[in-house]
A and B are shown apart, each in its own frame.
Chain A
Amino acid sequence: MFVGSLPPRSSLLLALLVCPAVQADDLFLDSEALPQVLTATRLKQTPAQVPGSMTVLDTELINASGARDISELLRLVPGMMVGNISGNQAAVNYHGTNASTARRMQVLIDGRSVYRAGLATVDWSDIPVAMEDIERVEVFRGPNTVSYGANALMAVVNIITRHPADSHGTRLKYTRGQRGINDFYASQGTGWNGGDLRLSLSGQEDDGFDSDRNGADYRDSRRLNRLSLAVSHTLNDEQSLDWQINAKDGTNQRPYTYQPVFSGITAAGNNSDVVAKDYAGSMRWNLDLNPQHSLYIQGSAQHWDRQQTWRACDAEVSFSPELAQLWQLNPNYTERLARNITRFTGPGAAPGTPQEMALANQVLEQWRNGASRTVCGDIDQSARESRYDLELQDTLSLSDSLRLVSGLNYRYDRANSETYFNGTLDDTTWRAFGQLEWRASEHWLLQGGAMFEDTRLIGSSLTPRFAVNYLINPRHSVRAVYSEAIRSPDMFENNVNWSYQVSHLRPSAYGQSSARYFVKTRGPGDLDQEHIRSRELGYNGYFAELGLALDVKVFHDEITGMISEPLRNNQYIASNANSSRFRGTETQLDWRVSRADRLRFTYAFVDAEASNPLDQQFSARNSGSAGWLRDWGHGWNSALFYYGDNALNGYRFERVDTRIAKRIALGKAQLQLAGVLQQRLDHEPSTFIDNNYDERRVMYVSAELEF
C-alpha cells in the first residue's frame, strides 16, 4: 500500500483531498438505523410532472372558503360546474352534461369510490365525511380511468381526510346562521406507541332554499349526523394498517311532486322526504418490501340506504290491470288516453289496434263505473345499494427514472329496490391497470398506461392513456396528453325495471289495499359504455421567487355513445345514440404575494356542443373564481372570494363570500371565531327555477375550540 517515498502521513492527506466519499464504517456518521421513510415509491410528482391538470384545494383554502359542503368547495376548481337540484342535492359536473344527473365523475374518499352502486350519482350532501376532517381535495381535471377506475370519465375528485396522526387533541366547533344553519363538529384524536386514531362526530342542518317558482315555501331542508373513526397502526418498519368506519344518518326533505295523471284529482300528499343513511368501512394494508417496491391492499364495504316512502293520490283507474296491460302494448296510446280520459268517455277509445281499443274501452267502462274516484296510497321509492371493493396496487421503482404502478381491482355492486329493480340486481367488475412513468432525460417525462375492465352486465373494454411532459426545469413544464376513458352505464340506466307497488290504499282499489300502478318502464339491457377521447395541451409553472403557481390548458374532449335520455318512468328509452364535444381553455393561478397575502384566480371557457340539448345545459361558457386571503396579524384572518358562472342551466350565478376570523389563545387552548357572509350579486334562481332565496345575503358564524 505504500507508494514510493511518499510519507504515509502526507499520502493520507492527499487521499483526504481527493477522496471525499462517505465511508460505511465512519465513526462520525450516525450509525443509528433509520428506516427510509420518503422512498421512491412514496414520493409524489411535482405539479410540473403530473400527466394532466390538477387542482389542489389545501387546508388553508378549505378553511378560508368557509364552505359547509364539499360541492361548494369545488367552485374553486376551474371548469367545475357546481349547481343545485335542490337545497340538499348538489349537482357537480366537470365541463358539463346533464344538470340533473351528474354521473360522469369519479369521487374518492381516501381511495374509496363513493358514487352510488346502483344509480351512479354522487349524493354530495350524504357523503359521510365532515368538512373539518378533510385535509385536502385533489381534483384531477380530465379523464383518468387508468389511475382511478370506472366512472373517471370527465374528472376525479380525490378527498383526502386528515391522517389520524395529524389530528391529535380535541376540536369542538359550532356554527349557527341564517337559513336555519345549525352545524356542529367534535373530534378527539390521540396517539400511542405505534398507532393513532381520530373519532369525530358531526351534524348539519339547514332549511335549503326558501321558495319555489310560485313563491311557496320550498321543501328541501336537511338534517344529518355523522360519525367517523379513522385508525392507523404502524405494524413495523415495513407495514402499516389504516382503517376507517363512517356512518351518516339524516333526512332530506323533498317536495311532493307527483302530478295526478287523471283529471279531477285534487287530493295530494305533502312530501316525498328521504331518510338517507350511508355506511362505509375500509381497511388498507401497506407493505414496503424495500425502498423501491411497495404495495397496498385495500378492501372496503359500503351501503347506501335511501328510504323514501310517501303518500300519493290519483284515480282508482291507475291501478286497473287492463290499463297496465295497455301500457305494455303501447305506452304513447295509453298516456294519451290517461291524460285526456274525460274526452274519451263519450266517444269511446281512440283509434288503435283492435286489442288496444278493446282494452281502452274496458278502462273507460271502469272509469264510468266509479274508478274515477280518488285513492291515496303509500309509494315506496326506497333503494338499498351495497358495494364491496378489493384493490391491490403495486408501486415499483425500477430505476431512478422508471416507475411502474400496476394493480388489480374487484368490485361487487348490488342494488335492491322494489320500485326500480323489482327486487335485487347485482354486478361484478374486474379491472387491471398499469401505468409507467419514465424520465427519459432531465427534460422529458413520458407516462403511459392502460386499463382493462370487464363488467358482467355490460362487457369489457380497454382504455389507454399517454402523456408527455417537457420539463423546462423542475418547476416549469409543458405537457401533451391523450387519453381515452369509458363509463359503464349504471344499473339504473341499463337494467331499470321501474314500477310502483302502492300499499295502504284508501279507499281500496279494485278491492285491493295494495296494487301495482299502471306505468312500468324497463331499461334496454343492452347499453354499451360511453367513450371519451380527450386531448390536452398545457403549461404548469411555479415561479419560486414570486411564489406564483400557474397552470393553463386547452382541451378538446369528445364523448360518444352517450346515454342522454332523462331517467323518467314514462317512456324511458335509453340508447347510446348521443354525443357531446367540449373544448376550451382553463387557467388557475395561485400567488402568495407576500407572507400575509395570497391571491387565487381560476377561469374556464367551455364551448359545449351536444346532440341532445339536455347535455348542453350544464356548461357555463364562462366561469371562474377569484380569491384574496390575508393574514392581518394578531390572530386576524380574512378571505374574500368571488364565484361566477355566466349561465348554468340557463341561470347566471355570481356570489361574493367574505370570511373574517379571529384566533384567540386561551392558555393551551385556541379559540377561533369566524363569520361568513355570502352575497349573491345576481337576481336569478340557483340552477333550477324552484331554487330561490328570499334574501340574497346569508350570514353564519362559528366558534371553534381546539385543545
Chain B
Amino acid sequence: MRYGRSRKTPTLSHWLAGLCLFVGAWLHGVAVQAADILLTGAEESPGVQAFVQALSELRPTDTVRFQPLASLPAPGKLPTSLRLILLDLPSLDWRLQDAQGPATLVLRISRLQARQRLGTSQPAHLSLLWSDPPLSRQLQLIRHMLPQARRVGVLFGEHSEFLLQELNLAARPLDLQIVSQRWDNIHDSRPLQAVLKNSDVLLGLDDPDLYNPKTAKNLLLSSYSRQIALVGPNVAFVRAGSLASTYSDQNDWLRLLDQLLDQSPASWPRALYPARFKVSSNAQVARSLGIEPADDVSVATTLIEGERRP
C-alpha cells in the first residue's frame, strides 16, 4: 500500500526518490559505520516482529535483530558497541540489574512507570523515551480545541502525584488553572464528582490506576453528563469517548529512533518525548458537545508548529 501510492504518481515519486537517495547518501556519509542493534523484550509478538522488520528496513546498513529476553546473558556481558533497545518493562528490569553494558534506549515506558521503577534517580546508561503524551502538549491541545476552558480538572493517584508540579508549570504560561483532585479509591466516585464540579475540562493522566477499563464507563459517563470533555489519556480512551488526545504511533517512533541511531550514544538524551506526534479526536463526541469539528491532521500541524516556535 505504501509503495502503491508512489507508483500512482511516478513523477513525484521519482523526484522524491531522488531526494531520498541524496539524503540517504548524505546520511550514510556522516553516520557512524554499520551498527549492531539489538531489540529485546519478554515476548516476540506479531507487533514486535512488525516493528523490528520496519526498523531493519529503515536501517539497511545496520544489523537489526530481536532476541527474547530469556535468551540474553546479563547486560554487562553484552558488547558495549551494541545499541540496545528495550521494548517492555521486564527488559528494563533485566537491564537495571547491571550498571555496565551497552548504551540503551528504553521504549514504551511512561513517566509513571519510570518513576515507580527508578524513583527520582536515573541510571546514566539509559535513554528513556516516554510513551505517555507530554503534559504541555495535552494542555496545548485543550487550549486549541476548547479555547474557553480555563479550569483543567486533573485526577491523580499516589503514583501520578509527582506530575502535578510539572503540570502546574506547564499550565501557567497558557493561562490555565489546574484543579487537581486525589482519587485513591476508584469505587468512590466523590473525588470525580468534586473535580467535575470545579472544572471546564478534564485532563486524563496516563495513570492506569485511574484510567482503566473498570473506570472508563464511570469517568466518561459522569463527565459527559455534566457536558465536560475528557482530554486524554490515550487513543484507546478517545475511541471509548474521550474528546481527543495527542499520541505518537510506530511511524513517529521509527523516525525518532532513526535519528537517534544516527547519533553517537554519548549524545543520546537521558529522556525524551518524541517531537513527532498526531492528534486523535472523537468527532461524534465533539459534535455532541457542540464543539466545531476539527481536522486531526491540521490540529496536529498547528500544535507541532507551536512547539517549534514557542
Contacts and interface: CB of A to CB of B under 8 A. Distances in A.
A37 B241 contact: yes
Given A19-B251, A27-B47, A595 B218 contact: no
A36 B290 contact: no
Interface in A1-31: 1-16, 18-20, 22-23, 25-31
A354 interface: no
Nearest to A40: B284
Contacts of A6: 6, 13, 17, 20-21
A38 B241 CA distance: 5
A327 interface: no
B250 A27 contact: yes
Contacts of A42: 221
A351 B280 CA distance: 91
Contacts of A544: 147-148
Interface string B246-257: 011111111100
A568 interface: no
Interface size class of B (residues with CB under 8 A): 35 or more
B187 to A, nearest CB: 4
Interface stretch (A45-53, A97-105, A276-284, A342-350): A45-53
A1 B3 contact: yes
A440 interface: no
Nearest to B283: A400
Interface stretch (A124-132, A162-170, A316-324, A381-389): A162-170
A18 B251 CA distance: 11
Interface size class of A (residues with CB under 8 A): 35 or more
Contacts of B240: 34-38
B17 A4 contact: yes
How would you classify the secondary structure of chain A's contact residues: helix, strand, loop or mixed? loop
A10 B292 contact: no
Contacts of B87: 27
Interface string A261-278: 000000000000000000
Given A25-B46, A37-B221, A192 B187 contact: yes
A32 B236 contact: yes
Contacts of A8: 57-58, 60
Residue from the set A2, A7, A191, A192 with the largest chain B CB neighbour count within 10 Å: A7
Interface string B29-70: 000000000000000001110110010011110000000000
Contacts of B97: none
A135 B197 CA distance: 12
Residue from the set A4, A11, A12, A38 with the largest chain B CB neighbour count within 10 Å: A38
A456 interface: no
B288 A32 contact: no
Contacts of B249: 22-23, 26, 28-29
A35 B251 contact: no
Interface stretch (B114-122, B161-169, B188-196, B265-273): B188-196
B235 interface: yes
Residue from the set B57, B234, B252, B290 with the largest chain A CB neighbour count within 10 Å: B290
Contact of A7 (B3, B24, B150, B284): B24
B78 interface: no
B90 interface: no
B290 A542 contact: yes
B304 interface: no
A448 B132 CA distance: 45
A234 interface: yes
A355 interface: no
A14 B6 contact: yes
Given A11-B20, A37-B216, A38-B285, A47 B290 contact: yes
A44 interface: yes
Interface in B1-21: 1-3, 5-7, 13-14, 16-17, 20-21
B213 interface: yes
B225 interface: yes
22 contacts: A3-B3, A3-B6, A5-B17, A6-B21, A8-B60, A11-B2, A13-B20, A19-B5, A32-B212, A33-B213, A38-B241, A38-B285, A39-B241, A43-B285, A44-B288, A47-B290, A168-B193, A191-B187, A473-B292, A474-B291, A544-B147, A544-B148
Q: Which 5 pairs show the lowest CB-CB distances between chains A and B?
A: A38-B241, A10-B20, A15-B2, A43-B288, A46-B290
Given A37-B220, A191-B188, A400-B284, 15 more contacts: A3-B13, A11-B17, A14-B20, A15-B2, A16-B254, A16-B255, A18-B2, A28-B253, A29-B235, A30-B235, A34-B216, A38-B221, A38-B284, A43-B288, A474-B293
